[in-house]
Amino acid sequence: MRRSLQAFDHFFVQDNTSRELLNSINFSAVTVSGDTRFDRVSGILSQVNTPEFIEEFKNNQFTVVAGSTWKEDEELLVNYINNRASENEKFIIAPHQINRDAILRLQQSIHKTTLLFSEKEGKKLKEYRVLIIDTIGILTKIYAAADVAYVGGGLNTGLHNILEPATFGIPVVIGNNYNKFKEAIDLVSLNGCIPISNQEEFSDIFIKLYTDENYRNNTGEINKKYIQENLGATTFIMNYLKTQL
What dihedral angle (degrees, nearest 10) is formed by the CA atoms of 78, 193, 230, 179?
Answer: -90
What does the pLDDT profile of the chain (245 residues) look like in tens digits? 677 887 888 899 988 988 998 899 888 889 899 999 999 999 888 887 789 999 999 999 999 999 999 999 999 999 999 999 999 999 999 999 999 999 999 999 999 999 999 999 999 999 999 999 999 999 999 999 999 999 999 999 899 999 999 999 999 999 999 999 999 999 999 999 999 999 999 999 999 999 999 999 999 999 999 999 999 999 989 998 888 87
Q: Name the maximum alpha-carbon separation found in the chain.
A: 64
Phi-psi region of 158 (alpha: psi -120 to 50; beta: other; left: phi over 0): left
- The 3-state DSSP class for residue 132 equals strand
- The architecture that CATH gives domain 48-226 is 3-Layer(aba) Sandwich (3.40)
Encode 23-34: b = buried (16+ Cβ within 10 Å), e = exposed.
eeeebeebebbb
Task: Delimit the domains of the chain by residue range.
Answer: 2-45+230-244, 48-226
Cα(196)–Cα(60) distance, rounded to whole angstroms? 27
Encode 155-164: b = buried (16+ Cβ within 10 Å), e = exposed.
bebebbbbbb
